[in-house]
Chains A and B, each alone.
Chain A
Amino acid sequence: MHTCTLQHRTYGFADLAEVLAKASPERSGDRLAGIAATSAEERVAAQLVLAELPLTIFLEQPVVPYEEDEVTRLIIDSHDRDAFAPVAGFSVGELRDWLLSEAADAETLAALAPGLTPEMVAGVAKLMRVQDLILAASKCRVITRFRNTLGLAGTFGVRLQPNHPTDDPRGIAASILDGLCYGCGDAVIGINPATDSVDNIRRLLEMLDQIRDRYRIPTQSCVLTHVTTTMEAIRCGAPVDLCFQSIAGTEAANRSFGVDLALLAEAHEATLALGRGSLGDNVMYFETGQGSALSANSHHGIDQQTLEARAYGVARRFRPLLVNSVVGFIGPEYLYNGKEIIRAGLEDHFCGKLLGLPMGVDICYTNHAEADQDDMDALLTLLGAAGCTFIMGVPGADDIMLNYQSTSFHDAAYLRRLLGRTPAPEFQRWLVEQGIVNAGDGRLQPIRANSRLLSLPEGWL
């Protein structure tokens, strides 16, 4: 039992899970789960309690039981005590203050990452204001490699997302060319397929590989299908660069996605064995999102932000090239409006980075959420300031297959222009060679109608 006594009353919280849930900034998903603070004062009382809790409590009292959940076992068993040592005596509140101090720099934070657990990071995020989440995350440097180098200081990556409602190769190719001409695609060229059959996945993988090869683009491709389908495609000899999977923060939620840690390990091994990365061997791509465990009815009474951080605990086991939260996709019953989506996006980015992940965000919303393009602009700009590794690039922000609004190629160009960021260096060199951006200031150049980029292989157009 944890208590907080204010002048006129005392608040009691039965356990760590209740403190975490009630200390969470307001969001509809925690209300839907029936675990949110019932008043503004109770929320702050929970934060006062949380600030005083020692970090070691997260190791002693797992919020999801060790015996019942393999994600908890992964978190506890892989915890690095030596890395944890510098902050072992801290309370959650002291960790917040230290993260903002000059003592916490890129090297210190990188060394600390294996010593932090997802729950510690989730806890400290609940105490932080938006500017704290931005500043602390901006200090983290996470670099990953496959055919280029992602996450270097001063860079900002984009996943080119050329989805099409019927997976039409010409429609997909048209969107890819559009995105490349706007300097997008360094993080990955990644398709969400409309049809998950192995034949279709193979066809899309081969098409992406041909485009990449034809234009000698220093990037990687991915078709975002279930790991078992990707493994089947690998067995059939398809050109798989990255292996994708949606993951969540509990064993039961992952099971609802049709995966467990053993299956992910098997997929990781199978993809590594292909050895297709020329610069590095980060071969996994994970997507996550607050609310996924609740929507799968497997949240164990834990708040959605803490469970989201636990999903990052799963991700980091597999040294991914890319991880992103799809922050506004799940709908208003989990994140109601622009304010909740913005806060959640910054929390997710901060937690991922602090845990040592190459964290991007799919800055997005659905038409039944109380949000619009202005909210996405705000989150995009804040995430740019926070040093977000990558965002999505969707033609005109309108994904015609998944029916939601994400960020556009123009949004990525805006952010690079505003903050002076460049794509991954290998990709940037290619953009200069193609005449897409200027070698000097990196700005977009007018594309000539006879550009080789615009001539697609025979049979596609």
Chain B
Amino acid sequence: MTRRPVQIEQTAEVADALEFAEMKASPVTADPWAELRQFTDARIALGRCGASLPLAAVLELRLAHAQARDAVHLPLAIDQLAPELQTLGLQTLALHSAARDRAEYLTRPDLGRRLDGDSRAMLKKRQPTNGCDLALVIGDGLSSRAIHENAVAFVREFIGLCAAHTPFALGPVCLVRNCRVATGDEIGELLGARLVVMLIGERPGLSSPNSMGVYLIYAPRIGTSDEARNCISNVRAGGLPVGQGVRKLAYLVEEALRLQTTGVNLKDRMQADYLPFCPKPALPGRD
């Protein structure tokens, strides 16, 4: 005689008993809505032990925070960046803001926005020159990691585009420690640059310790206000890819030179089929 498996009716009591057995096995109560994670990157359905967060979730957050903290405090590796940029045929200058160390940088944004005396003297020594069309400034900002991971690739692609299509006079690439966005204003003014392109590490988020911002400023001067800048944000693997960021920058550079301004009056109206630095075909009947 074969025994048939006993059919247990799935009553609430049975469910409770099964749940209880599971709880005995692990002190963690799982959340039965893990499938909702497909709709958001928010840290949902983490489960709990008692009322508290399970250790796995605690350590995951701690790791993400550690990576963000390290990104803030990692020194900008100018010694590695400069030779890489030089192999692209670019001149480089190593500069420093007036914020002497990281603690001062974080508490004195006013000092981070200005160059220190040596850096200013170095730039002034280069004068008089005839200025340049475009000066690239690379600053650590709040994440050196963002620069280490994205800046050289970004510059390589961007100057590749420029070299192929436009006769830009490029200034030296300035690599700046303890740099804020506005540091580029003083640099641009001293170099006599028509445009400054600033690559800078953005404030790191837990899921984005390596995100780079790209700022564009026309006719930079000390005291330029934030409304006079255009910004491309979140350039990184997993964010805005370098290629797309470069294409957007090329568009903004072209528009800035055409309109002779940046900021609120330069709206991003880039078309999907935009081709960087290409002569625009004349409209039929307009020539």
Contact = CB atoms under 8 A, between A and B. Distances in A.
A223 B68 CA distance: 29
A279 interface: no
Contacts of B33: 174, 177-178, 181, 447, 449, 454
B130 interface: no
Contacts of A413: 48, 51-52
B108 A333 contact: yes
A429 to B, nearest CB: 20
B235 interface: no
Contact of B204 (A367, A447, A448): A367
Nearest to B49: A410
A366 B107 contact: no
A228 interface: no
B259 to A, nearest CB: 25
Given A373-B61, A444-B51, A175 B44 contact: yes
A57 interface: no
A28 interface: yes
A47 to B, nearest CB: 23
Interface string A194-225: 00000000000000000000000000000000
Interface stretch (A10-18, A247-255, A382-390, A400-408): A400-408
A2 interface: no
A446 interface: yes
A454 B31 CA distance: 11
A450 to B, nearest CB: 9
Interface residues of A, number: 49
B39 A368 contact: no
Nearest to A175: B42
Interface stretch (A116-124, A164-172, A301-309): A164-172
B128 interface: no
Interface stretch (A69-77, A148-156, A391-399): A391-399
B258 to A, nearest CB: 28
A373 B43 contact: no
B203 A174 contact: no
A332 B107 contact: yes
B42 A368 contact: no
Contacts of A372: 65
Contact of A368 (B19, B53, B203): B203
Contact of A32 (B19, B51, B108): B108
A430 interface: no
A448 B10 CA distance: 13
Interface in B10-59: 15, 19, 23, 29, 31-33, 36-37, 39-46, 48, 50-53, 57-58
B35 to A, nearest CB: 9
B124 interface: no
B65 to A, nearest CB: 6
B106 interface: yes
Contacts of B58: 373
Given A178-B45, A413-B51, A447-B32, A32 B107 contact: yes
A226 interface: no
A454 to B, nearest CB: 5
Contacts of B69: 367
A333 B142 CA distance: 13
A170 B39 contact: yes
A366 B142 CA distance: 11
A343 interface: no
Contact of A174 (B40, B64, B209): B40
Contact of B46 (A32, A373, A410, A446): A410
Nearest to A171: B40
Contact of A395 (B15, B44, B207, B209): B44
B263 interface: no
B31 A181 contact: yes
A367 B206 contact: yes
A410 B107 contact: no
Contacts of A1: none
A373 B62 contact: yes
Contacts of B50: 417
B36 A174 contact: yes
A162 interface: yes
A171 B32 contact: no
B205 interface: yes
B173 interface: no
A312 interface: no
B15 A448 contact: yes
Contacts of A446: 19, 23, 29
Given A367-B72, A414-B51, A454 B32 contact: yes
B206 A178 contact: no
Contacts of A395: 40, 42-44, 46
A28 B107 contact: yes
B44 A174 contact: yes
**Which 9 A-B pairs have CB atoms at the shortest separation, nearest pair first?**
A396-B43, A171-B40, A413-B51, A174-B36, A449-B32, A403-B205, A367-B68, A178-B44, A170-B39
Interface of B: 15, 19, 23, 29, 31-33, 36-37, 39-46, 48, 50-53, 57-58, 61-62, 64-65, 68-69, 71-72, 106-110, 142, 203-209
10 contacts: A28-B107, A171-B40, A174-B39, A174-B44, A367-B203, A373-B65, A398-B61, A398-B64, A413-B48, A461-B36
